């Protein structure tokens, strides 16, 4: 294990063995120390005869020569000092110092001769050669001095290796503890010296390798102690030996890595499997680049098959993701639809390229086809990202449950159950790794992908050892060392899962995570209500646990995301929404679940207030939706999903107002890239958009007042508040339509939405009159009727003019398209 540059002699000291011709600078300190001398020599060499400037405006050559001589003397003095302080490399250092002294003297003579006659090309050439020799000699001296640090680090490493061998061969608990104390002290010293070396290294990859090795050494030290104690105490158990050997191997590999990196050796000499972006994301990026070309370079024979082949490869990857077990049916259908849309868009684009071959100026239809192609690939990316987050949301939920069940079986000494739960635990770990790799496939974040892959590999390696620790405990449930060993491996597993979770969160966007989490919570809420209605206490309890887990994940992820922003109104609003969900809504939901499960668990079953439970469940969903709404407040229209409205995707559970049966037919079949009036809105002239935006801002101002007023009232059982919110949601859909997004797509959708507002306003008027009839104070009743009669008139006006408003909007869009 001793490095090639440092070898042991018979006395046990380290002898230096290095190549004087190797001038590779590996550390920042050498580079920084050498830099002033290089600047001085370069300035001297570049001197071009007597200065024409006034005295005092520039350095003369003699001044530069003196500076070089002084710097050389300093190098010689420091080199001799290092040589006498380190006997192991004294001879090598003194030889390097002598070389610097000789080349320095030669440089001084040549430089002074050149300074006296700067116009002589012969003297300039002599000085340049002397300067090169001096710089080479100084560089060798600095590299050798730098190797002193490596020498000290490897001496510390040698001590750790000796300690590891003693720990491995310990045969009693007392011997093990004594040797481990010495190992601990030497390991701490090695970690500190490795940290200093890491800070000095220039190569970022070597720095990363050294940092990883230090982390492994630090993290596995306690595991080595407990695993070794368990093996020494129970040598008859194969699982105990497997545990100890695994940790011992990890520590030895870390020590080897430190030794290799200290000498600048590349690990393995090839790229690690963790490097590189996600395969599917890279393929999509490459495809997006290739579809844009000069029509003159398009070749039907070569270009078409090449692009079609690349697209089919992407679609094959998308199909694998769609067919995965955790992909929702609706998501699968959307992925298939987007794949078909991308296929069609490519064919349209290739046809346009064919039509524009040989033309001096490409037609506008080609630009539209390219834009449509890019939009379709962007839509496919969105669905694939959300499919990934579907998996992440399901798999990284209650990640500690399989572990806790396994440990509980081990504590009870039930070896049969341990083997059964070990299978469950293995499947759980495999699923985490599978989903992590799936997340990597759709990420362009190279560093993030590398972190996820590395963390996933650690999970794979650690999984069987956690099971071995459980087997040891199951075989010796009363053994203290077995329990300690299990606790250490449990902590290591939980830390590694946390690291993997955070790494996966870093390469998935929070927008996708919140959209998917909101939908999953909605599914679980509906399952909870159904379980309550069917009297299924187990399903109710299990699903409610999933809701609590998902909500906690949302709070944690969003809170971590806000750490990336400067504190302000935006972060305050988001964190306030998180606090409401975590501190108010979830405790209330947990209480309702506990009451319901307890009632359903009795014989005979007691009645449960279903309305209260539904309200508590709905508040959870509303809380998550409000967090998502707050997070997306700083997004631009381009950053939002164009099919989303009120910050949701599914259009269920009052998130969309269900204002109309949203039509899907193409209103503009003759115009590429525009299928309906909503699409056309996105292409309106800037002046028209600004006019619409002014009206929208007025509406938003009124809506803010409405929100503040409604917040004062509990909408539980309050039909007026519910209707008012419903009408506001429809109006939000209509304002989104004017900005080219939201669920309303066609002119008929807008007409139907306006009719819904009219119908809701009629209901609101009717309710207000009923309340007024019951009020004893006549003055208040008259005031209420007067107010709500105004609401009724406005709603009738809205209904009667909805057709005109929608038709005018459609006319404006068509007029703009015709002009364009």
Integer Cα distance of 633 and 646 in angstroms: 11
User: What would the two tokens of residue 498 be?
Assistant: 């946390």
Mean pLDDT calculated for residue range 627-637: 83
Residues 6+ apart with CB under 8 A from 552: 582, 586
The confidence score (pLDDT) of residue 655 equals 36
Name the burial class of residue 756, with classes exposed (0-12), middle (13-18) and buried (19+) by CB atoms within 10 angstroms of its CB.
Answer: buried
**Tens digit of each residue's pLDDT (9 = 90 or more) over 139-168:** 777 777 767 777 778 888 889 999 999 999
Integer Cα distance of 757 and 95 in angstroms: 93
DSSP 3-state of 201: strand
The answer, yes or no, to whether residue 620 has pLDDT greater than 80, is yes
User: What would the two tokens of residue 451 be?
Assistant: 């972190």
Per-residue pLDDT band at 412 (split at 50, 70, 90): very high
Instruction: Name the nearest CA neighbour of 155 among 351, 268, 14, 346.
Output: 14
The answer, yes or no, to whether residue 498 has pLDDT greater than 90, is yes
Q: Give the dihedral of Cα atoms 745, 748, 752, 758; nearest 10 deg.
A: 110
Please tell me what DSSP assigns to residue 203: -
Higher-pLDDT residue of 194 and 670 is: 194
451-488 burial, b at 16+ Cβ within 10 Å, e below that, comes to bbbbbbebbeebbbbbbbbbbbbbbbeebebbbbbbeb
As a whole number, the mean pLDDT across the chain is 78
Integer Cα distance of 546 and 589 in angstroms: 12
The answer, yes or no, to whether residue 28 has pLDDT greater than 70, is no
**Tens digit of each residue's pLDDT (9 = 90 or more) over 347-366:** 999 999 888 887 778 788 88
Integer Cα distance of 310 and 346 in angstroms: 11
Per-residue pLDDT band at 9 (split at 50, 70, 90): very low
Least confident of 54-63, 492-501, 584-593, 702-711: 54-63
Q: Which long-range CB contacts under 8 A does 556-565 form with residues at least 24 apart?
A: 557/505, 557/510, 557/513, 558/510, 558/514, 558/627, 558/631, 560/502, 560/505, 561/510, 561/631
Beta bridge partners of residue 7, listed in sequence order:
15
Instruction: Name the nearest CA neighbour of 312 among 278, 281, 268, 346.
Output: 346
Higher-pLDDT residue of 412 and 766 is: 412
Integer Cα distance of 386 and 324 in angstroms: 13
14-16/6-8 β-pairing: antiparallel
Mean pLDDT calculated for residue range 744-771: 78
Please, what's the largest Cα pairwise distance for the chain? 116
């Amino acid at each position: 294990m001793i490095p090639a540059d440092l070898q042991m002699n018979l006395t046990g000291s380290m002898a230096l063995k290095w190549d004087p011709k190797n001038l590779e600078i590996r550390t920042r300190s050498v580079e920084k120390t050498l830099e002033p001398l290089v600047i001085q020599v370069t300035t001297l060499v570049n001197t071009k005869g007597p200065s024409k400037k006034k005295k005092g405006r520039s350095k003369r050559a003699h001044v530069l020569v003196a500076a070089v001589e002084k710097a050389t003397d300093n190098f010689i003095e420091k080199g001799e000092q290092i040589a006498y302080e380190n006997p192991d490399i004294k001879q090598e250092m003194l030889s390097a110092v002598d070389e610097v002294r000789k080349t320095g003297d030669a440089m001084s003579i040549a430089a002074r001769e050149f300074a006296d006659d700067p116009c002589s090309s012969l003297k300039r050439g002599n000085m340049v050669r002397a300067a090169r020799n001096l710089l080479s000699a100084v560089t060798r001296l600095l590299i050798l001095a730098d190797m002193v640090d490596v020498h000290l680090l490897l001496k510390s490493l040698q001590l750790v290796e000796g300690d590891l061998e003693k720990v491995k061969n310990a045969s009693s608990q007392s011997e093990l503890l004594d040797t481990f104390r010495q190992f601990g002290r030497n390991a701490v010293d090695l970690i500190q010296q490795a940290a200093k070396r890491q800070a000095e290294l220039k190569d970022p990859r070597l720095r990363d390798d050294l940092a990883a090795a230090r982390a492994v050494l630090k993290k596995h030290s306690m595991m080595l102690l407990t695993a070794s104690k368990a093996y020494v105490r129970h040598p008859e158990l194969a699982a105990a030996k497997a545990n100890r050997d695994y940790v011992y191997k990890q520590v030895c590999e870390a020590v080897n890595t430190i030794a290799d990196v200290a000498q600048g050796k590349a690990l393995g000499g090839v790229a690690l499997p963790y490097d590189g972006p996600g395969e599917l994301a890279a393929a999509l990026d490459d495809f997006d680049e290739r579809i844009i070309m000069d029509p003159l370079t398009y070749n039907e024979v070569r270009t078409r098959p090449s692009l079609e082949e690349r697209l089919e490869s992407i679609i094959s990857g998308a199909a694998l993701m769609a067919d995965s077990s955790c992909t929702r049916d609706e998501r699968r259908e959307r992925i298939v639809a987007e794949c078909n849309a991308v296929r069609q868009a490519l064919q349209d684009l290739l046809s346009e390229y064919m039509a524009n071959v040989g033309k001096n100026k490409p037609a506008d239809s080609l630009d539209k086809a390219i834009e449509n192609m890019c939009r379709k690939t962007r839509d496919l990316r969105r669905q694939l990202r959300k499919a990934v987050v579907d998996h992440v949301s399901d798999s990284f939920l209650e990640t500690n449950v399989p572990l806790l069940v396994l440990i509980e079986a081990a504590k009870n000494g039930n070896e049969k159950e341990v083997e059964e739960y070990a299978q469950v635990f293995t499947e759980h770990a495999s699923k985490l790794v599978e989903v992590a790799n799936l997340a990597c496939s759709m990420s362009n974040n190279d560093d993030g992908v590398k972190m996820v892959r590395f963390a996933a590999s650690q999970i794979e390696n650690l999984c069987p050892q956690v099971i071995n620790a459980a087997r040891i405990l199951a075989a010796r449930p009363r053994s203290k060392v077995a329990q300690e060993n299990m606790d250490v491996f449990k902590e290591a597993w939980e830390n590694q899962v946390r690291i993997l979770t955070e790494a996966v969160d870093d390469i998935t966007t929070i927008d996708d995570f919140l959209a998917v989490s909101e939908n999953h919570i909605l599914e679980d809420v509906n399952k909870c209500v159904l379980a309550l209605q069917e009297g299924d206490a187990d399903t109710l309890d299990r699903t409610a646990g999933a809701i609590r887990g998902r909500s906690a994940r949302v709070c944690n992820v969003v809170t971590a995301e806000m750490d990336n922003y400067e504190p302000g109104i935006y972060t305050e609003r988001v964190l306030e929404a998180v606090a409401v969900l975590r501190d108010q809504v979830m405790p209330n939901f947990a209480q309702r679940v506990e009451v319901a499960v307890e009632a359903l668990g009795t014989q005979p079953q007691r009645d449960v207030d279903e309305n209260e439970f539904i309200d508590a469940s709905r508040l959870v969903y509303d809380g998550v939706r409000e967090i998502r709404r707050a997070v997306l407040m700083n997004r631009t229209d381009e950053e939002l999903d164009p099919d989303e409205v009120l910050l949701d995707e599914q259009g269920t559970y009052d998130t969309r107002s269900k204002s109309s049966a949203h039509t899907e037919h193409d209103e503009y079949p003759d115009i590429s890239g525009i299928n309906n009036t909503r699409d056309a809105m996105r292409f309106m002239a800037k002046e028209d958009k600004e006019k619409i935006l002014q009206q929208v801002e007025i509406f938003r101002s009124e809506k803010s007042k409405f929100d503040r007023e409604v917040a004062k009232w509990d909408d539980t059982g309050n039909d007026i508040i519910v209707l008012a919110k419903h009408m506001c949601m429809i109006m939000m859909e209509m304002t989104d339509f004017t900005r080219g997004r939201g669920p309303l797509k066609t002119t008929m959708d807008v007409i139907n939405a306006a009719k819904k507002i009219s119908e809701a306003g009629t209901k609101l008027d009717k309710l207000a009159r009923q309340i007024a009839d019951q009020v004893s104070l006549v003055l208040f009743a008259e005031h209420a009727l007067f107010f709500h009669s105004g609401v009724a008139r406005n709603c009738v006006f809205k209904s009667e003019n909805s057709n005109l408003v929608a038709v005018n909007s459609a006319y404006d869009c068509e007029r703009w398209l015709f002009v364009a």
